[in-house]
Structure 1
Amino acid sequence: MTDKRPCKVCNFTRQKSYGLVVPSLDELKAKGCEFLGFSPSAPVTVVLEDDGTIVEDQAYFLCLPLNTKFMLLHEEETWSPLRRMDGGTAWMARDSVLLETDAVDASTAEAPWLDLAQQLKQDLASIILMSEADLQMLVDAPRPELAFALGFQEKKAEDLQETLQRVLDRREEERQSKELLQLYLKAADKEDRQLEEPSQGGAGDVDVPDGMEVDSASGFMSRTLMVLKGKTSPETRLSTEDLQMVVSRGVEAMEQVLGWDRTKTSALLQACKAELTKRLEQIQAVQSIRSNTLMDSSQQSSEKSAEQGIKTAAQGSN
């Protein structure tokens, strides 16, 4: 009779794990199903928990070290490695993604958003820590596949993508507000310097961001080209100076720069023109407010000087 061997068995989420002492692979399947709550008639596959190797041979089972940990999988369940989370301070089990058999092998390479979907499935609050690129990847993910990976109804997946898009839009609005404020402060500082040094008025220096390379063929910053070729509203991610440069180039020149067809390039330029017009209107509104404020201040100063002159004249006549 074969000696009994101590081993461990877990389900594919690694949330349930039990110690067993069994003499054979068949006994491991039987007892494992019983402890993990599987139906005795349900077909299961035994794999090594640490690397996913399928164990089907009794002789191989007997050659494995004592206390080897096995994982029992149903037909639609797949093995996935244990993921390191929280900067390496904790190990957390992650649910395997249930996929159709013919899509399993290429899923990781063809759908990089799957790891992000698993983070959301584990904790929806992880949205806060995701980069804009990660959020955009989830927004662009095929909705039926995203719903399947998350275990959601398709309508719920649609709501999630709309929420992620709102998060992206809010971040973009915050960035635009910051850029507008920087433009206002820059214009105000330039105006103050011109008032202080009227004799030294001249062309201002052109600021070039540190570490940003200029593409010699197109004349655009490398970051600008990356943003222009982005998928969602690239015009909102460009500075006002970049928008002016894009609009001034025209459709034909931008076709060559981007390598796009006329229709797609024209649509981008129209969007850039609209965004540029909106920003210029905002800048004009801010400058108008500032001019009115300066005018009111100057008028108050003049009135105060006139009042002081009248008082001085009255004192002299007395």
Structure 2
Amino acid sequence: MTDKPCKVCNFTRQKSYGVVALSIDELKEKGRQCLGFNSSDSVTVVLENDGTVVEDQAYFLCLPSNTKFMLLNDKETWSPPCRIDGGTAWMARDSVLLETDTVDSSSTVAPWYELAQQLKQDLTSIILMSEADLQTLVDAPCPELASALGFQEKKAQELQETLQRVLDRREQERQSKELLQLYLKTVEQENRQQEETSQPSQGGAGDVDVPDGMEVDSASGFMSRTLMVLKGKTSPETRLSTGDLQMVVARGVEAMEQVLGWDRARTSALLQACKAELTARLQQIQAVQSIRSNTQLRGSQQSSEKRKEEEGAEKPAQGGK
């Protein structure tokens, strides 16, 4: 293992230092010295940008060089930097705001720029990025991204296309999982109905729960994630759920023009793609149902033949008596 260059700051972000550490314990020790903590103070190390607690040595080693950490004592908590009244302020201990005369330059930097700097330092850091981070890089202006990475614009465009394919593949995997879960749920419901034929079915089959963390846009009626996917760069129809596709198709071209703010030609092309994708998925569901029906029919026929064979075997035995 080699020493890793890092940055450390206190919870107000007023003090920031560069250190070199071989382990998370060494980072704590050097951070205490730089930030004026006592050597006996118990400190927690978190990522400065999102507050993720870093305690595992393996995770520490996976982080890219020059990652910025924040050291917190027992009474301090992480909070994001906030702009207030033209200056910079941070939520501090006991809800006290500490104001400074200088503006934190990081608050004016586009989110994709910091991600691009991470990639520039260590390209393998991309495996630690969330889907939201990947989408931020995909949506970044290609010429500016190329400049930040030190790439040619064509290479930056290829990187964005690759990231988009990764996002599309993950979305397709999720949709396949949802389809399988839907099939298993249908089988379970049918089996329950067969076992409890005397009881009326209960429960709102048409009710749809909004996933945690998803907000519905009151103006359009779509979830915020759905709108983000619709406005994506590559094949948004493949990344929508079947319910979302049905909703888009049902709205029609004119309504979707207003929702997306696009022209008629672009909106029509999107709806045609959504209709084609919806048709393909419905065909998949019908195929699965057909396979299941054929399987049940064969099982019923085999059971009937087996009963006939058993009855035929019983009759000669009874005649012998």
Specify the TM-score bucket, using the shorter chain as the normaliser.
0.5 to 0.7
State how far apart, in whole Å, the 1-side matches of 2:205 and 2:217 are.
20
Per-residue CA shift, 1:222-241, capped at 9, x if unaligned? Answer: 54444434444332332212
Q: Considering only CA atoms, is the larger Rg found in Structure 1 or Structure 2? A: 1
Distance 2:268 2:165 in 1: 26
Shift of 1:293: 1.6
- Shift in Å at residue 179 of structure 1? 1.3
Does 2:179 correspond to 1:206?
Answer: no
Deviations 1:248-269 (A, max 9, x none): 2222233334443322322221
Q: CA deviation at 1:184?
A: 1.0
One-letter amino acid of the counterpart of residue 303, structure 1: E
* Identical positions, percent: 70
Change (3 A) 1:314 1:297: same
Alignment of 1:191 with 2:184, yes or no, is no
Amino acid across the alignment from 1:278: A
1:126 pairs with 2:125: yes
- Which range moved further: 107-116 or 232-241? 107-116
1:145 equivalent in structure 2 = 144
TM-superposed CA distance for 1:180, in Å, is 1.0
| CA distance in 2 between partners of 1:217 and 1:244 (Å) | 18
Instruction: Pick the aligned partner of 1:304 from 280, 303, 306.
Output: 306
Give the match for residue 293 of structure 1: 295
Give the alignment's Cα RMSD to 1 decimal: 3.8
Paired amino acid for 1:315:
A
CA contact (8 A) 1:251 1:266 kept: yes
Q: TM-score, normalized by length of structure 2?
A: 0.60
Q: Distance in 2 between matches of 1:302 and 1:224?
A: 50
Q: How much does 1:125 deviate?
A: 2.1
The answer for the alignment partner of 1:263 in structure 2 is 265
| Count of aligned residue pairs for this structure pair | 234
The correspondence of residues 1-318 of structure 1 with structure 2, limited to 5 A, is 84=48, 87=53, 92-93=65-66, 109=108, 111-198=110-197, 200=200, 204-210=204-210, 214=216, 218-318=220-320
| Unmatched tracts of structure 2, length 5 or more | 7-14, 18-46, 68-104
Q: 1:114 to 1:239 in 2, by over 3 A?
A: same
**Counterpart Cα distance in 2 of 1:196 and 1:262:** 52
Work out the CA distance in 1 between the residues paired with 2:144 and 2:228: 28
Q: Structure 1: which 5+ runs fail to align?
A: 1-13, 16-48, 52-82, 95-105
| Contact residue 137 and residue 160 of structure 2 kept, 8 A | yes
Partner amino acid, structure 1, of 2:306:
K
Q: CA deviation at 1:275?
A: 1.4
Q: Distance in 1 between matches of 2:115 and 2:191?
A: 49
Query: Quick check: 2:168–2:238 contact (8 Å CA) kept in 1?
Result: no
Cα distance, 1:309 vs structure 2: 0.8
- Evaluate the alpha carbon distance shift between residue 242 and residue 158 of structure 1 in structure 2; reply closer, same or farther with a 3 A threshold: closer
* 1:251 to 1:144, Cα distance in 2 relative to 1, 3 A: closer
Q: Distance in 2 between matches of 1:225 and 1:113?
A: 20
Tell me whether 302-311 or 114-123 shows the greater mean CA deviation. Answer: 114-123
Distance 1:258 1:175 in 2: 25
Q: Report the Cα distance in structure 1 between the residues aligned to 2:219 and 2:144, rounded to whole angstroms.
A: 40
Contact 1:108 1:114 in 2 (8 A): no
Equivalent pair of 1:235/1:272 in contact (CA under 8 Å):
yes
Cα distance in 2, alignment partners of residues 116 and 216 from structure 1: 32
1:117–1:150 CA contact under 8 A, matched in 2: yes
Summarize the Cα distance change of 1:130–1:245 in structure 2 as closer, same or farther, 3 Å threshold.
Answer: same
Question: For residue 89 of structure 2, what is the aligned residue in structure 1?
Answer: none
